[in-house]
Amino acid sequence: MLLSEVAYTRPASVDDAVRLLAEHDGARPLAGGQTLINVMKARAAAPDVLVDLADLDELRSVSVGPEGGLELGPMTTCTELIRSSAVNEKRPILAEVAAQIADVQVRNRGTIGGNVCSNDPTNHFPPVLVAAGATMTIASTAGERDVPAEEFFLGVYLTACGPGELLTRIAVPPAEEGDGFASVAIGVDGTCIVNAAATVRDGHARVALGCVAAAPVLLTAAADEGAVREAVRGAGLEPPSDLHGPAEYRRRLADVVAARAVANAMGAS
């Protein structure tokens, strides 16, 4: 398909990337492109300038932070997360969830940063990072700022990382007792109809529900099935309807999927 005309640049440093994003109205970062190129085909987005992040090795690293958590470069692909020994040791839920996204080819190109910054409400990583209590670092020409994951996701396709800004780091704290993820999806590894991520500590669960609102819905409850289901049912969810399921179906799935995520988290502890 022929895309609308677009300009392209591939900066060699984060400073250059941030400068280019600030200088050009309508500039957007291009990570793995597994969402952006398709929405450009569909004319659902029409950036004037693509700032390709491919050469920014500093955005591609996975390391263990001073307190034992993970510091993830947003350009880390799903395949790299799956294979990372640091991820599998410190917070294996990230590798487990990465392996459920789409297919091999998409996982080879698609990045965790792209997944969160596109913030499609059916994406996998937004609820995982909210439940895990991650911190997102956003850079601009004005400097860097840290935003907690639960404040990062603002709406459908909308995050705290605005025009002229670039997500440069995802810091995930050390694992608690257990992490879990569950979804009902359209076929194995398909688009989620409802998903949920859970983190459990001291008998309490932090649960982030995806696909039921414009951004992940964070709830806390005692870590047992009845309490979790009651908390979800009492949350006043008003999920969207689409061709994969009406709102009522998603509402009924939500507490089931949340309870499974918590059970998975407790099983993993």
- Residues of this chain that interact with another protein (CB under 8 A) are 1-11, 20, 24, 27, 30, 33-34, 37-38, 41, 49-52, 54, 79, 102-106, 108-109, 188-189
To the nearest whole angstrom, how small is the minimum distance from the Cβ of residue 105 to another protein?
5
Token duo for residue 12: 């060699």
Q: Are 114 and 101 in contact (CB under 8 A)?
A: no
The residues, any chain, with a CB within 8 Å of residue 113's CB and separated by 6 or more, are 31, 59, 73, 74, 75, 76, 167, 170
To the nearest whole angstrom, how small is the minimum distance from the Cβ of residue 42 to another protein?
8
Beta bridge partners of 72: 62, 170
Q: Nearer to another protein by C-beta: 184 or 218?
A: 184
Q: Nearer to another protein by C-beta: 109 or 201?
A: 109
Q: Nearer to another protein by C-beta: 103 or 151?
A: 103
To the nearest whole angstrom, how small is the minimum distance from the Cβ of residue 61 to another protein?
18
To the nearest whole angstrom, how small is the minimum distance from the Cβ of residue 38 to another protein?
5
φ/ψ region of 94 (left if φ > 0, alpha if ψ in -120 to 50, else beta) reads alpha
Helix axes 225-233, 247-267, angle to 10 degrees: 150
To the nearest whole angstrom, how small is the minimum distance from the Cβ of residue 9 to another protein?
4
Q: Nearer to another protein by C-beta: 78 or 263?
A: 78
Nearest to 17 by CA among 138, 188, 180, 193: 138
Token duo for residue 160: 């705290």
Q: Nearer to another protein by C-beta: 4 or 220?
A: 4
Beta bridge partners of 147: 136
Beta bridge partners of 183: 195
To the nearest whole angstrom, how small is the minimum distance from the Cβ of residue 171 to another protein?
27
Nearest to 179 by CA among 213, 152, 207: 207
Q: Is the dihedral of CA 262, 264, 265, 269 positive or negative?
A: positive
Q: Nearer to another protein by C-beta: 154 or 185?
A: 185
Q: Nearer to another protein by C-beta: 39 or 256?
A: 39
To the nearest whole angstrom, how small is the minimum distance from the Cβ of residue 155 to another protein?
24
The residues, any chain, with a CB within 8 Å of residue 20's CB and separated by 6 or more, are 9, 11, 27, 49, 51
